Structure 1
């Protein structure tokens, strides 16, 4: 049980709810604070002009709304902005979105009734996924369109995915005895006027990016291992003179993974011997290709980028991100722009650039393994059958190359792609939800590329018959994955193998860098 409202949610808390189906509970003190905040707004707003309570919205805020229409105004807002298009967000993303919205509202600065807090808790704990579309929000007055679809479900309308099927919200609520939200003051605006879609998706992205980084370190280490690389490029002594935290963490993880390997070579033992200096041409490369030798320098900044993004997006997760801010402690209502998604948008763009580079490293290591002219150790395309008759990993390399090319194109930043809209009221926007969704695509692509690299590494181990010489860590991974991807010699379709290994990587973890 994860307690919401008592202290800041961490990435681990968030992941436990989203990926491990931990239930949420609401802190009693936080609930009382929300109640006090709501009662303050009710009294404070009775004879004052306050945006979104007795005015229209956006550029229509110049129009006063009559007393008898105030509650209908909130319903109108939700219904009119339920205008999304494209694919539905996955249940994982909609659950993440609801956690983010709940955690913002429970801060007690949104002027909402406690009913909405309790209802969000019920949706999360019952695995009810509102139908939210990927296209709509520009991420500057919050994720208006995506969150409006959440609001539509809260008031008992629209559709949800429940128990794996698309169903009418009203039917599911009736089945589970859930009461739809009855708006009291500003629950419509408070629901849609925030960054919770981009933040929720962003948190999922960061959790998955951490996994990718750790798998990339693992596969980079295995690649070095099977080609019998030298150990100095991941040594403490070489990396410590470069003062970057990420690089040194990657190097330390690299060493932990390869501890006990009988295949990694010492330069001192193999190249620093007197008999070597007399040779005119060296059989072994004196230094490995960059995709093997510069792993700590390539993955180090990616790790630092992911860690920084985690810090920023966790801060957003625990922030009040709607407008206006209802501050009962200071007995005032403050108008501003906390709904603006620039913090999340910029971090998502950084993440997708970093993960695109990670997938590029994986593709280069894969190319090294399947190109016999480069590695001079393995048959072409890691073909364990008859050359010219069988094809080995030739077909799947095309998929890896194509997927990396897509990642490179998707890496163009959304953060600088502002288009004014809303009668130019929203004249500079973040495109934060778009940034988060494109980043999710880049991450998903990267898992596919790494899956193909792992398939190739396992074939390399079988070609060398070196399982007994591997480190305990890499040998265990070889054993585990061979259970779902057996050694192959004859040509068979590989698309199911890619998907099985991809799911394995997405649901399991490697050593942490």
Structure 2
């Protein structure tokens, strides 16, 4: 896939396709002209020695310190070196790659004042898949994602570490291999690279892609459970959901009926019981609410992906130009959305674990063996898989605490309120991985349960899923190391996220 960047219309779906297809980026002609025009304004500021934050002055508390004209470029290099204070496990390579794409897209809006050389360096890194090693911790989510983006910038100037062709190397060494020069930072460019929300937004985009996918996967997994427990389909009747005025709830109900169409295991109300437990009966309400969350988060993320969020911002208004110090780097809107996303992810795991309990509990599972054990007593079967799911759900509850309610002043109280949005993005991904593992456990147990009930009576659509997953998840005929099954199913569910 060839992704044409304009600074205006980038979507999450385009990012998903770009990652899935190992695509390349190109710059639209209009966007490149905007970059050139904004750079001319920076050069005029330099020539006229105007007092403009981050171009002719220091940063943060040092914003009133004027810099000598001969040191403007060194100021930018010093900024990157001093701000590269990230620690901890690096962001995934996909997140770091998306970070570069988003930072480039912001520059193309024509408000950042960077050179075309910097734009071309970013394009080169993206298309050659030279991925900066970016530690995941250290950002406050205001004044931009300063520490993470500084590590990105270090790679561009040949001073950082990168992943290239499967190994971690020095950026300078990789550039030499490719006969490419490190970028020489010009006035304003260091600040333009790091004053932005691209770390939290990039991780948020990955969170969204995988969360939406796992929510769809949760429906057919729940449909297997529904059939194993002889669930009642009446609760999914569209009349029930239309009167709730929730398009997401109604859509989930319709998809559940579609998954269950033609099943010999489902029942009608009063046939076996009058009502199912909430974890079956309320799947449209619970899953639908998560989709509602995801729709809102997508809207926020796509606005931010196409936003000018560095500082200062440059505006060419024809007869005059404006260079304004503002606060678009503050991540609060994204931070709120990413914390909200965590709630939608969490509940998919919560309700899945309750369905798992119904499958393994002999008092609830409709005469299936306790823990679906092939030899109850001698063999434990799925007993501890439910323990693992319960542990993951409990961990999610602690991670769901909103990062955005916290703030610690920085830069000697010049930056006295911050968003902590990048923490929320990282915790969200941890929750997503936990949730995917919970659903993998439900999948393994539901496969076993429907096999015991009779896979030949499954609905045609879920029978296809049964046969697909049985190719790598064998039936439980004796106790084995189930952690291997859980990982294999979880990895498979993750891979599906990028297939559309």
The TM tier, using the shorter chain, reads over 0.9
SS of equivalent residue, structure 2 residue 423: helix
Q: What's the counterpart of residue 13 of structure 2?
A: 12
Q: What's the counterpart of residue 506 of structure 1?
A: 494
Cα 1:132–1:6 shift into 2, 3 Å: closer
Q: What's the counterpart of residue 463 of structure 1?
A: 452
How far apart, in 2, do the equivalents of 1:44 and 1:81 lie?
Answer: 25
Whether contact under 8 Å (1:11, 1:207) holds in the other structure is: yes
How far apart, in 2, do the equivalents of 1:224 and 1:427 lie?
Answer: 51
Cα displacement string for residues 253-276 of structure 1 (whole angstroms, at most 9, x for unaligned residues): 112212222222233xx54xxxxx
SS of equivalent residue, structure 1 residue 374: coil
Shift of 1:509: 5.3
Cα displacement string for residues 105-151 of structure 1 (whole angstroms, at most 9, x for unaligned residues): 11111000011111111111111111110111101100000000011
2:472 matches 1:484 = yes
Q: What's the counterpart of residue 27 of structure 1?
A: 28
Shift of 1:7: 4.7
Q: What's the counterpart of residue 423 of structure 1?
A: 412
2:273 matches 1:297 = no
Deviates more, 1:28-37 or 1:136-145: 28-37
Whether contact under 8 Å (1:214, 1:511) holds in the other structure is: no
Shift of 1:152: 0.7
* Residues 156-235 of structure 1: pairs in structure 2 closer than 5 A: 156-235=158-237
Shift of 1:288: 0.7
* Residues 380-395 of structure 1: pairs in structure 2 closer than 5 A: 380-383=370-373, 385-395=374-384
Shift of 1:226: 1.9
Shift of 1:395: 2.0
1:50 to 49, 52, 58: 52
2:136 to 130, 134, 137: 134
* Residues 438-449 of structure 1: pairs in structure 2 closer than 5 A: 438-449=427-438
Shift of 1:20: 2.9
List structure 1 runs of 4+ shifted beyond 3 angstroms: 509-512
* Residues 405-424 of structure 1: pairs in structure 2 closer than 5 A: 405-424=394-413
* Residues 360-399 of structure 1: pairs in structure 2 closer than 5 A: 360-383=350-373, 385-399=374-388
RMSD: 1.5
Cα 1:455–1:153 shift into 2, 3 Å: same
Q: What's the counterpart of residue 348 of structure 1?
A: 338
SS of equivalent residue, structure 1 residue 415: helix
Q: Name the TM-score, length of structure 1 as normaliser.
A: 0.94
How far apart, in 1, do the equivalents of 2:423 and 2:207 lie?
Answer: 13
SS of equivalent residue, structure 1 residue 375: coil
SS of equivalent residue, structure 2 residue 404: coil
Shift of 1:22: 1.4
Q: What's the counterpart of residue 281 of structure 1?
A: none
Cα 1:510–1:182 shift into 2, 3 Å: closer
Whether contact under 8 Å (1:232, 1:238) holds in the other structure is: no
Q: What's the counterpart of residue 148 of structure 2?
A: 146
Shift of 1:219: 1.8
Cα displacement string for residues 190-220 of structure 1 (whole angstroms, at most 9, x for unaligned residues): 0011001111111110001101111122222
Deviates more, 1:444-453 or 1:26-35: 26-35
In the alignment, structure 2 segments of 5+ residues that lack a partner are none
In the alignment, structure 1 segments of 5+ residues that lack a partner are 272-283
Whether contact under 8 Å (2:250, 2:284) holds in the other structure is: yes
Q: What's the counterpart of residue 82 of structure 2?
A: 80
Whether contact under 8 Å (1:227, 1:377) holds in the other structure is: no
How far apart, in 2, do the equivalents of 1:264 and 1:299 lie?
Answer: 20
2:440 to 420, 429, 451: 451
